[in-house]
């Protein structure tokens, strides 16, 4: 991994250090509970889908480069990867609703608030690629952080699927976006930290919502 991608990942690892154990514990719990695991995977599929859709919508103006199209295609494929894994566990078709996913409304709110928060900081005359790059990069940082913990839990249980290919593509996306922000003179060393701090607050709220959903499911099962 290049130094241009190592520094933002180091920052998110430092700011999220207190989350590692509770997140890892919940990820392990999902892996051990198939029905809830399917719902979590379906939630990841939804979030990857939202991400790919935001890329498409954000690029209605300006030149749609091969790199952006490639990113769009790979995010769509990640959504398919998680959806297929979810439905393989559930043995049925899953919808993006409250029955088949974990707090889909909260997932959409997480994306929407992050998007709006970043847009507030950037000047109106910014290059058309810059908002897309910053939103995607900030989300990629969280995705890599989460997927690495998730992969550790999957690897500890033989016979599970692997996230290694997804992680490799996410890390490549991150490197490419940092490089492109440098090319556009968009000051990533200054702004990434600002946006990551805002994302941290939003992620903590979103994760708390997922925890509440799981606790409610556990209570319903015990009743």
Q: Is residue 222 part of a domain?
A: no
Q: Is residue 221 part of a domain?
A: no
Exposure string of 85-95, with b = 16+ CB inside 10 Å and e = fewer, is bbbebbeeebe
Residue 86 near residue 177, CB atoms below 8 Å: no
Give Cα 22 to chain centroid, integer Å: 18
Selection from 135, 166, 156, 173 nearest residue 44 by Cα? 166
Exposure string of 67-84, with b = 16+ CB inside 10 Å and e = fewer, is ebeebbebbbebbebbbe
For residue 222, give the H/E element and its range. helix 188-222
Q: Is residue 115 part of a domain?
A: yes
pLDDT at 128: 83
pLDDT at 4: 54
What is the CATH number for 105? 1.20.910
One pLDDT digit (tens) per residue for the chain, 223 residues:
455 566 788 888 989 999 999 999 999 999 999 999 999 999 999 999 998 888 877 766 666 778 888 888 999 999 999 999 999 999 999 999 999 999 999 999 999 999 999 999 999 889 888 988 999 999 999 999 999 999 999 999 887 899 999 999 999 889 888 998 999 999 888 899 999 999 999 999 999 999 999 998 777 666 5
User: What is the C-alpha separation between 86 and 208, in angstroms, rounded?
Assistant: 22
pLDDT at 49: 95
Note down the domain range covering 25. Answer: 3-216
pTM above 0.95, yes or no: no
Q: Is residue 113 part of a domain?
A: yes
pLDDT at 213: 93
pLDDT at 65: 78
Question: For the chain, how many structural domains are there in total?
Answer: 1
**Distances in Å between the alpha carbon of 174 and those of 9, 16, 164, 220?**
10, 18, 15, 40
Residue 184 near residue 127, CB atoms below 8 Å: yes
Q: Is residue 77 part of a domain?
A: yes
Q: Is residue 148 part of a domain?
A: yes
Q: Is residue 70 part of a domain?
A: yes
Question: DSSP secondary structure string, 125-188?
Answer: TS-THHHHHHHHHHHHHHHHHHHHHHHHHHHTSTT----HHHHHHHHHHHHHHHHHHHHTT--H
Q: Is residue 223 part of a domain?
A: no
């Amino acid at each position: 991994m290049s130094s241009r991608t190592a520094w933002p990942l180091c920052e998110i690892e430092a700011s999220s250090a207190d989350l590692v154990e509770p997140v890892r514990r919940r990820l392990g719990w999902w892996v051990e509970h198939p029905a809830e695991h399917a719902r979590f995977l379906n939630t990841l599929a939804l979030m990857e889908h939202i991400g790919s859709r935001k890329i498409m919508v954000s690029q209605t103006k300006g030149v749609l480069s091969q790199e952006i199209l490639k990113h769009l295609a790979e995010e769509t494929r990640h959504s398919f990867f998680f959806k297929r894994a979810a439905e393989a566990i559930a043995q049925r078709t899953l919808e993006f609703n409250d029955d088949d996913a974990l707090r889909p409304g909260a997932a959409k709110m997480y994306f929407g608030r992050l998007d709006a928060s970043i847009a507030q900081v950037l000047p109106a005359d910014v290059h058309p690629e810059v908002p897309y790059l910053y939103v995607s990069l900030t989300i990629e940082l969280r995705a890599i952080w989460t997927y690495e913990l998730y992969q550790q839990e999957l690897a500890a249980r033989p016979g599970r699927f692997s996230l290694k290919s997804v992680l490799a593509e996410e890390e490549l996306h991150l490197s490419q976006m940092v490089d492109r922000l440098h090319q556009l003179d968009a000051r990533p060393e200054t702004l990434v930290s600002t946006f990551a701090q805002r994302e941290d607050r939003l992620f903590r709220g979103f994760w708390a919502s997922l925890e509440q959903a799981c606790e409610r499911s556990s209570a319903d099962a015990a009743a």
